[in-house]
Structure 1
Amino acid sequence: MTSDELPATEKVRIASDFLLQSPPGEFNEVFNDVRMLVNNDAILEQGCAPAVAQYNKEQYIPVKIDGTETLITQYNELPDGRFFDPKTKKVFRYDHLRKEASDFQPAHGEIEENDFQPAHGEIEEKLEPWRKALQAEADHYIDEHFHNTGVATVFAQKGSIILCVESHQFQPKNYWNGRWRSTWKLPNHEGKSSSQEINGVVRLQVHYYEDGNVQLISNKEFSAKVQLHADREKSAKEILRIISEAESAYQNAVQENYIAMSDTTFKALRRQLPITRSKLDWLKLQTYRIAQDMKPQ
């Protein structure tokens, strides 16, 4: 069966799977390749729209609003498909395919209590000062550890506090791209000393494709106890200290494991050089074959 004989629903499913597996920084390249395979822009743009939106939310795509940056995530998506930025208190529309934000509006009272921070009421009065304190410490953490390549946004959703961190490095000229993401569920601050638990997961994905195709995909879950204090700012500093230690330890472990694998596992996977002791020029492979066919029999 050829691709033209596949039903539209099957084409959408296959194309969506390809798009969701796009390495960081290479979504446009994958989209263009899939576009050639599907050969139907209507099916691709309409049928695959949910997959494109899911990819952006899972990857924590950063977006600029009023000189600051927030993230596109499931934690700030409104029921009508718009997004809410807790830093600027604005809602906006996001074009997932073009990765462009537009139609910025003050949140006012349109965000209901069951969605995110309400415009009025007890939940906002209770969570917003705590969210701001955490956001301030998260910004310090980003400036110190991610060298202006990261974005952290603290969301207050349905009575919970969620911290999302994203950082990426795209180096297509050097044949590699990578993205760091972490998600932390943080305790609420009740204005008194207490022992609470924080839970998080760190996701790292790196794609290296010079003379080959290698991907590093790693996930790590964390759980730790934190001692909250009556002072809100002091508690926020303690939480970010624990997060910093956990993420730094994870990064060091990944680096050590990568060095060990470079010296052992990768070398065992294949010859460093073929028997000829020289690398094969893949671009000339067809030329080699043609030359062989032209030899007199």
Structure 2
Amino acid sequence: MALSVLSRKEKERVIRRLLIQAPPGEFVNAFDDLCLLIRDEKLMHHQGECAGHQHCQKYSVPLYIDGNPVLLSHHNVMGNYRFFDYQSKLSFRFDLLQNQLKDIQSHGIIRNETECLRTVVLCALKLYVSDHYPAGNCNVLRKSIKNKEFLIACIEDHNYETCQFWNGLWKSKW
């Protein structure tokens, strides 16, 4: 079925599903290719933002804030397309298409026993990752569920060789 026959809502759903399924490291390439087919810049950018947010969560996309790695995942989503970083104490939107932080806001964190433990676990995890993953990134996040606090340790390492027609991604969480 041709895309021109689809309703706007159907087009949005198809575009978003195709972008979310883009292989790790190839979101922007998939977006550019779809732009050539769709030829509706406003529709593509809106769907690109929505799908980019989901893509970041699915593949634990790494980025750097003040030289420190931050892994974007569903564990540090705040809602309204925002992520939170415990290290920098910032919340932000991340535009995957422009590889840019947007709408950055500072937050306070309650310094309690869990936060101190999170910092210690993060230091130990960084040592482990530097020894075992060539280009690895890690993060330790806090999560509250029913008034109980949990720590979630995430590791990501990737090697994207799109010109060689292969990508590799390792991600894990505890």
- Shorter-chain TM-score bucket reads 0.7 to 0.9
| Cα distance between partner residues in 1 of 2:139 and 2:103 | 21
Higher radius of gyration, 1 or 2: 1
1:254-265 matches, within 5 Å, as none
Q: CA deviation at 1:167?
A: 0.8
What residue number does 2:107 align with? 107
Q: CA deviation at 1:80?
A: 4.3
Q: CA deviation at 1:100?
A: 1.2
SS of residue matched to 2:141: strand
2:37 is the alignment partner of 1:37: yes
SS of residue matched to 1:78: strand
RMSD: 1.8
Distance change >3 Å, CA 143–CA 84, structure 1 → 2: same
Q: CA deviation at 1:151?
A: 0.6
What residue number does 2:141 align with? 155
| Cα distance between partner residues in 2 of 1:26 and 1:166 | 16
Distance change >3 Å, CA 48–CA 80, structure 1 → 2: closer
Aligned equivalent of 1:176, options 166, 171, 174: 166
Instruction: Give the count of matched residue pairs.
Output: 170
| Cα distance between partner residues in 1 of 2:47 and 2:5 | 17
What residue number does 2:63 align with? 63
| Cα distance between partner residues in 2 of 1:173 and 1:79 | 35
| Structure with the higher fraction of residues in strand conformation | 2
Under a length normalisation based on structure 1, what TM-score does the superposition of the two structures give? 0.53
Larger relative contact order (CA 8 Å, sep ≥ 6): 2
Task: Among all aligned residue pairs of Structure 1 and Structure 2, give the percentage whose two residues are the same amino acid.
Answer: 29
Equivalent residue letter for 1:126:
E
| Cα distance between partner residues in 2 of 1:60 and 1:71 | 5
Q: Extract structure 1 runs of 4+ deviating beyond 6 A.
A: none
Under a length normalisation based on structure 2, what TM-score does the superposition of the two structures give? 0.88
| Cα distance between partner residues in 2 of 1:91 and 1:43 | 26
1:3-152 matches, within 5 Å, as 3-108=3-108, 119-120=109-110, 124-147=111-134, 149-152=135-138
Q: CA deviation at 1:42?
A: 1.5
